[in-house]
Amino acid sequence: MSKQTTTHFGFTDVPIENKQGLVADVFDSVAVKYDLMNDLMSIGVHRLWKRFTIEKSGARSGNKILDLAGGTGDLAALFSPIVGESGEIVLADINDSMLKVGRDRMIDCGLINNITFAQVNAESLPFTENYFDCITIAFGLRNVTDKQKALKSMYRVLKPGGRLLVLEFSKPSSELFNKIYDSYSFNLLPKIGKWITGDEDSYRYLAESIRMHPNQETLKAMFEQAEFEDCEFHNLTGGIVALHRGFKY
């Protein structure tokens, strides 16, 4: 069997070794306006999706949480008062620009007593085995080159009894809704990106990367292949977004 040498960057095939840099360029471009664009793109509903993720995390006082692709720190900020001073949150991202924005935001909010920061690659997490009670990754898995390898890496650093939650764009359950969503994603979204950030191409990539991401059932099967158990997903906003959860026993 020949070794795979290319992967997708949106709808374009690129050499595997090039994808990480291309994705980095996208987030370097949008980092400063990332939160504003999230609010505009989802009409603020992304905040409800993230609160649902927190509710399903089972986080409690003293827990150790890894927030991968944590970006500007939305989930970390919500976790901080839950785990308290005896807990620990690692806000991690592969992209330096996003991590700087997140770090500055957490400092401005006074949320650095139990939050640390790490620039990491999800495919090879540099943490101790069986360390975290919970791992979250919101709107980041679709940008990972080898998603299966990343899921295995997450499994390794979770404690027995720990859980992984992946919040990600997915496939709308209604075909009519899917057509409307496609029209918005490929026609309006890049224009909003150009208007707010001056970068139309990055938001065209965003729309394409969503379509290339595994659908709900496929991602659930990938969780199971990575040895997670009791795997499930919850469709949110008609399946535009899905929250997947799996446990390590």
How distant, in Å, are the alpha carbons of 61, 153, 172 from that of 234? 25, 23, 12
The tens digit of pLDDT for each residue in 115-174 reads 999 999 999 999 999 999 999 999 999 999 999 999 999 999 999 999 999 999 999 999
The tens digit of pLDDT for each residue in 75-96 reads 999 999 999 999 999 999 999 9
The total of structural domains in the chain comes to 1
Q: The CATH number of the domain where 28 resides is what?
A: 3.40.50.150
Domain of residue 88, residue span: 6-170+214-247
Residue 10 lies in a domain: yes
Rounded to two decimals, what is the model's pTM? 0.90
Residue 151 lies in a domain: yes
Percent of the chain whose predicted confidence (pLDDT) is above 90: 65
Beta bridge partners of 163: 134, 247
Residue 65 lies in a domain: yes
Q: In whole angstroms, give the CA distance from residue 115 to residue 87.
A: 9
Tokens matching residue 191? 């224009």
CA distance between the termini of the chain: 33
The pLDDT-based confidence of 2 (bands split at 50, 70, 90) is: low
- Phi/psi-derived region of residue 248, left when phi > 0, alpha when psi is between -120 and 50, beta in every other case: beta
How distant, in Å, are the alpha carbons of 7, 20, 99, 225 from that of 42? 28, 26, 22, 32
The pLDDT-based confidence of 21 (bands split at 50, 70, 90) is: confident
The tens digit of pLDDT for each residue in 58-68 reads 999 999 999 99
Taking the mean position of all CA atoms in its chain, how far away is CA 167? 6
Q: Is 87:114 a contact under the CB 8 Å cutoff?
A: yes
The pLDDT-based confidence of 30 (bands split at 50, 70, 90) is: confident
pLDDT of residue 203 exceeding 90, the answer is no
Residue 208 lies in a domain: no
Residue 102 lies in a domain: yes
